[in-house]
Amino acid sequence: MRSMDKHDWASLRHAYGEASNIPALLEQLKDFPPCEDYRAEPYLSLWSALCHQGDVYPASYAAVPTIIELMEASPARATWSALLLVVSIEIARATKRGPEIAPDLAGAYTAALQRLPALVAAMATQTWDELMTRTAAAAIAVSKGQVELGSAILELTPDRDCASWGNDMSEDL
């Protein structure tokens, strides 16, 4: 995990302060334990620290390349929660729900996002439910700079009247 090891995590901040606990959480993520609900670890702790109530932090940007590297190393086991965390961090960043990315983090962060389409393709060997499908589509959108589209994709749920949503959009064309 090159990305994780190159940061002074104690100098980075997350929702609860110093981010020195993030490497241990990322190490737990390497095994991609089951993610049956929002309380599953290490997902809950990563989400709470890195994308707390839709806000992001310098540690969030530093963690994204490592999360993507872990998913690339094991795409058949990577979870929707890890992918959605990356997508949500990018949406929050682009909508000014966190600080600007420091120059020393920007290059790796941007390069990692550009690898999302290939990662999503590699993850396609999994059986996808509706949530994973939306997350994958949103990941591709944000990787191409289409943050508003990615956000809208995440809001489309089976209980929402998608046909009328499409009709609403066609009025704007």
Q: Is the pLDDT of residue 148 over 80?
A: yes
Residue 38 has a pLDDT of 83
Q: Is the pLDDT of residue 157 over 90?
A: no
Domain interval for residue 64: 2-170
Q: Is the pLDDT of residue 19 over 80?
A: yes
pTM: 0.91
To which residue do tokens 């700079």 refer?
A: 145
Q: What is the pLDDT averaged over residues 11-22? A: 97
Q: Among positive and negative, which fits the CA dihedral 35, 41, 42, 48?
A: positive
Q: Among positive and negative, which fits the CA dihedral 140, 146, 150, 153?
A: negative
β-strand partners of 14: 17
- Distance CA(66)–CA(81), nearest Å, equals 15
Question: What pLDDT digit, counting tens, does each position of 77-126 carry?
Answer: 999 999 999 999 999 999 999 999 999 999 999 999 999 999 999 999 99
Alpha helix positions (H), the chain: 2-5, 22-29, 43-50, 58-73, 80-94, 103-114, 116-123, 130-143, 147-155, 162-170
Phi, psi for 17 (deg, rounded to 5): 115, -135
Identify which of 56, 54, 37 has the alpha carbon closest to the alpha carbon of residue 22: 56
Residue 36 has a pLDDT of 85
Q: In the numeric block, which tokens belong to residue 157?
A: 């749920």
* Number of separate domains in the chain: 1
